[in-house]
Amino acid sequence: MYGDPSIIIPTENIGIKDNLTYELIPVEILDRQVRKLRTKEVAPVMVLWRNHFVKGATWEAGEGMKKKYPHLFESGEIPNQDTNSFLGTF
């Protein structure tokens, strides 16, 4: 028996590339921190990615994310700044 070609979903609609990968798109900033180094401070952000659960969120460089995805920083709301509240939920 052969499959029904009328029920095939085109991959263009869901963003899957020919090599079966997809683009990571950030959805939300979950947490922010300020890390003090010897000569400067860095501010990483925890990013929730589309098609990932909260457990798949990653820490990224805040400045780089702000330059590439400024819309994520426009809300003005700073979730749990200087805390690790999300780290304990994994």
Domain boundaries of the chain, sorted by first residue: 24-89
The class of domain 24-89 in CATH terms is mainly beta
* Range of lowest pLDDT (11-15, 25-29, 81-85): 81-85
pLDDT of the residue at 40 = 92
How do residues 14-62 score in pLDDT, each as one tens digit? 667 778 777 788 999 999 999 999 999 999 999 999 878 888 899 999 9
* Position with higher pLDDT, 60 vs 6: 60
The answer to whether residues 48 and 28 touch, using CB atoms and an 8 Å cutoff, is: yes
pLDDT at 87 > cutoff 50: no
CA distance 88 to 90: 6
Both structure tokens of 90 = 């994994």
